[in-house]
Structure 1
Amino acid sequence: MAEVLPGFLLILLMTGAVVWSLSVSNWASGLEVLRPMALLGLVLGAIFARLPWLNPGLAHLLSGMLGFTWAIHLLGELMDARLMTWRDQATDLLIRGLIWTRVIGAGGRGEDILLFVFVLCLLVWLLAYSTAWMVLRRGWTWRPILLNALVALINYTYVLPKPTMPFFVFLCAALLLLVYQNVIQRQAFWDARQIEYPDLLPLRFLWSATFVCGLLIILTAFLPGEVSIDRATRTWTMLSSPFKAAREQWEDMFSTITAPPGAGSGAFTSRGAALGGSRQLTADAVMEVRSLEYDYWRAVAFDKYTGQGWQNTVGEQARAALGVGAPEQARTPREADEPLPVSPGQGRREVVQTFTMKSDRLDDLVMVGGTPYQISLPTLVEHNYALSGGVNVPNFDELALVVAQERLRAEQVYTVTALMSFADVASLRASGNDYPQWVRERYLALPETVTPRTYELAARLIAENGALTPYDQALVIQDYLRTIPYSESITTPPPDADLVDWFLFEERTGYCDYFASAMVVMLRSQGIPARWVRGYAGGEFDTERGVYVVRENVAHSWPEVYFPGFGWERFEPTAASYTVVPSRRLTANLGSDSSDTGGPLAPLTPDPGRFDELDEALDQIPVPGVLQTGGTSASSGNAWSLGPFGMILAALGLLALAFYARWRYELYGLSQVGAAYAGMALLARWSGLGQAEQVTPAEYGALLAAALPDHQATIVQLARAYAREQYGGPAQATGQLFRGARVELPSDEARKALHRALVRRIFTALPDRMSQFQRS
């Protein structure tokens, strides 16, 4: 017992420090239960380890059962107070586990904090029990130390603030345990060979090791503690520069790797981007954007296609023009709010965009929707140079990226004044093809790897559709690519093939990197300058706060096409759920209408004050049962004289008001086709004819038509129009050609008649639904 006690106390200190750091890490509320969980695990591990007659398998089984029981007991205080018994608590955890499994299996994300604490309890139990067993039964030392060190380092790396004191306690206890166990093993060796040694030798060694560790801590405490920020920054830059360079090189070599949460969303490659295999992104929030106009948020523009991916050579060309040693040294510094000398371009307006970082940006790239004009941060701008009179002058119109001079951290806010395009279709069609020299030199170039059938496909599509202008030709190629299925789970591309050719003719599916690459290559093959851009799609609009929430899983790439006098214009060949085709007016004098653009209307720009408008409209609706007077309120006697009848009318009025509010909420922001279909589906759902998740719009239309045969033509026409808008590719707006057929919505009279029939069905079907409810 005298030999076991010091070892057990050191194990208690070592593992206890790790568990303590976990319990104060703020991963979730209720982590205090980890401490008694680990304590009992250590005690049971020590007891079972010192019973030589106990079979290891039986010991582990008993330990697991006791740990499971103890965890449920400890979590009882965090559960509903109505769960009085252990059986009730265990059943609740089982149900939570089943629900969690179904959510994860369906591709969702688990959000049950109690289950997280329960799993963490089991892991802590396993850590404590296995540490005591390995040291006291097996005589192992390094394995339990490394296991505890792994847990401590993972927690220390990700948690803020850092649990420094528990980490140093763990470190000292681990060193002392290593010394003590080594002496114990030597002592057993000496005893076996009858070698004499001093009494209490392990404790003497342990005391000496404790003295050395204490001395090191005291010496460390007397080291200089006042270090200037400048000195610390220089030291950190010097120490971290090799790792930063290695990280950037690693990202250039393996740009499609799946990074851990918090890392994948924080970095884009700035020099090269390979087209790789499947990808998987998290739903972690990257940033929030407050902007009056919807757009994509550009990070880096790439100009050179290699057959295997893309390269950004703008920095290299700027380096060569200035004669400096690295592309980073050729970036132009700009002060906060200092305007960039960019060409204003036709059809562009200033839009203020406010970005709030939700995670650290490891690449320090400044995002922008449009062309950056003013940025509230000190920045470094990577742009090219052009010869003018034999002298290299800055060309900010060929801008590849903007980086902040200081690190971009979570919760940091910066503002960008951007020049966003509002060019109309007629103007872009009339822009011609008189491209500047720098555009012709770099944004029409293609490598020899591009196959003849890629050229032929682009030429055939343009000829078959009779597209004469670069704008119409870009639309034709965009619409063709949107008919190719989207998938993030693709096979690994062959190493020796041109990957655009492989995507177009072999794989025939892919994600944004391939769609954007194919469109740029096909446009360049027909003499239309384009570039490949990487950043984020617009994101989800939060109506309560009036911001776009941008997550890692909308990291995106898209093509931009150059139009003389207008600059770079965005197109969208990727038909994914998070993408939006740009909406452009037909002419400068007409309102927004995409019926001639070959693409759908972009969603209406969400208005944070739309609920005020809704409330104002609702106030104008007369409520049945409420007496309207000219300026004098009705007396209480008149109000009560209505009796039950008036109360019924008031209830019906409130019900009608609720239905109207829900109706306006469901249909707000949808396109004309989407609103018509959603209105029909909403009324049908209220009448008991809801659309199941697995049913397509066409199938749902057939079901509704069978239930309402008098309105069959209207229902089928609505379902077809909506299906073409969502899945049909080129035609996604009313009055637009779709493979030779014109997509038209039913007349207003027909839709109103359908709505009246569905409303009648709500009330006629109500008795049947009530009887079914009573029987159930």
Structure 2
Amino acid sequence: MQIGLKIREGWSTLGLLTLMLLIVAWSINSAEWAEGLAILQWVVLVSLTIGLILAKSRLPGFVAHPLSLISGTAWVTFLIGTFLPSTLSWTEKLLNLADRLTTWLLTALGEESSSDSLIFVLTLAALFWLFSYLCAWFTFRSHRIWGVILLSGITMLTNLYYGPSHLVIYLIGYLLCALLLIVRSNVFAQEKEWQKARIGYQPDIGFDFLRYGAILSVIIVLFAWLVPTAAASPQFSLILDHFEEPWQEMQEHWRRLFASLHYQGQVNVNSFGKTMTLSGPVSLGTTPIMNVRARKGYYWRAVVYDKYTGSGWVNTDDETLSLDANSSSLPLPQFELRREVTQTVRPLQPGTNLLFAASQPIRVNLPARIELSYVPSSVAASQDSSSPAANISIMYSRSRFKKNQAYTVISSVTWADVESLRTAGTDHPTWVTTRYLQLPPTLPNRVRALAEDITQDHDNPFDKVTALEGYLRTIRYNELISAPPRGRDGVDYFLFDSRQGYCDYYASALAVMARAVGIPARLVSGYTQGEYQSISDVYLVRELNAHTWAEIYFPHYGWVEFEPTASQPLITRPEPESSEDLATDDFEASRQRREREEKEVDAEIAPETTGIPIIGTGPWSMVLWGGALVLLLIAGVMVSWYLWTREPRSSSPVECIYERMARYAQLIGIGWSAHQTPYEYAAALVEALPQGRAPIVQITDFYVKERFSSEGTDEGEIEEAKEAWHALRPTLWQQMIRQRLLRPRRLLSPFPHTSKSSS
């Protein structure tokens, strides 16, 4: 195998590519998704080396690529093996990895979650080897620089989107390297054309382009920083709508298969999906999510989970239904001691479509897509319909929300008092016990034993659940916990080992232990009420209000919320004497209040803005954007003009003048060919520009004397050449403008060969 030691693309190309890919690796390691990601930099360096060697060899792709896969497998396996106990032999390490991979693959095919972070590191290392090798191949063999930018850019942006905010510094470095790599690659392509046409150029011309490319790259990056997010564009949102559902599904599978990761990225309200994993640490910020106008604060529900897997929860609803705005045709469960409430929700995050509502949603004032299960018609006791009642678990708007768009939801919330719940009994319908008492066979017996021990002194479901709730609230609240070890039940680990966690763990423990003592329970995720804003009369819900709680089923009263999380206040139940009055609230007054609140939707206050202000809103937006564009254009024109008019790197002023004449002539379609002598080229120019005959001939005479005469040109002749150029330049400009306006033509070759010849 022969390898070219000289890199024709330039060492600067290799340096920029290496730095760019290392920045991507460093950004992922800095995001701290899992321990051990520092090995990615060594994966990049070795993969680039192998990729460079194979790209510079004469091996065809169908031979080089398998060699890369073999070497990559060996190198990644070696690096991953260093994380395993040093007491194991390499044979034992390989068997351990094989066992972990098999377990992970079986998990991927099922519904359970995986908390083995080593598999995540292994997967990422393998992907980095592949994409680093492809970047080297695209750069040094096929010379497809945009393949490099696409692969690395997608990786960088994905990590930035889901990672912490401090990663932005890596994006700046990446963009500068990427832009310079594009400049260098285009210079290399141009150099090949010049060499093919036997056109002379200075060897260090690439560094000139890199220097000025760096200036322009900084300008572009700074300008891009001011551009508002594309997700706020309605047109862009329409495009995203087509990818929303598959993207959400992929995110859910990712969270399920890599449950131990430290998820701390940008808030995304659509991240509430059909699976919820008991995973590792979380970091929630203060980003505003939505404003809600309602008579009081409630839990704003996003999704309901019914199946516990041991490592998380799954929503098993498989029915999907589309509803028109304000549709009331769907039979819904009817329970006692409930009241209707109206909420007007204004999302503050662009491009979302998940609908939030208190407790049991009844209808929404926009077209919606709901996921549900059907329960027996007997649940809809007050309805005449014989159709099954709909048990709604998730609601989506059929289109993404536009800026400042709000929606109104009517919900049915419980107003059952403590005494009513205490005497509700245990006559649970079959559809409830079949689905909401489910527990995995792998649940450790000590979880059941603990639940029975806590509730043994109580004789009714309400007091039993209250006792479980009180016990769980004694456990320490902590968001920076590690994920449960591989193969461990999440609730068992929370109750007996870690003894600390956040809302997902508290709510899961309550639901699981309630089921363990025969009480139907389910898990719900969404947001707490948020912070009440007295001036605007809305509840401001932020990212840090994301929450998970448990709901318990009581005969006649339906699903009732409980709060086991130690960091949240207990739920206050209404007094018995007020229950009947509030449950039988005057229907006409309720209807009038609801209509009045629905009319107020369009009068809602504008969403509060946070963070760094961005240009694009307000009466001066057009002026500011216009000014920014003008400044960018001026900067671009200045850089381009300087590159065009600067003195060429020649040995004398006369050669500079001749090369400048050739450059201008190129713009009017008079290119120089390698077989032409200077006088033949001058004749072609005179034929196209007869009015410039005298200065063209004069400049050519001085150029020939400078190039081929041992005497060269003196100071007087140099001044004459400059005067001839000043006389010729207006003629060239006039011809160029005339051709550009009336008869555009394709440009020919660039300026002629200028290397010094011996006389």
> What's the TM-score once normalised by structure 2's chain length?
0.46
Give me the TM-score of the superposition, normalised by structure 1: 0.45
Q: Which has the higher contact order (CA 8 A, sep 6+)?
A: 2
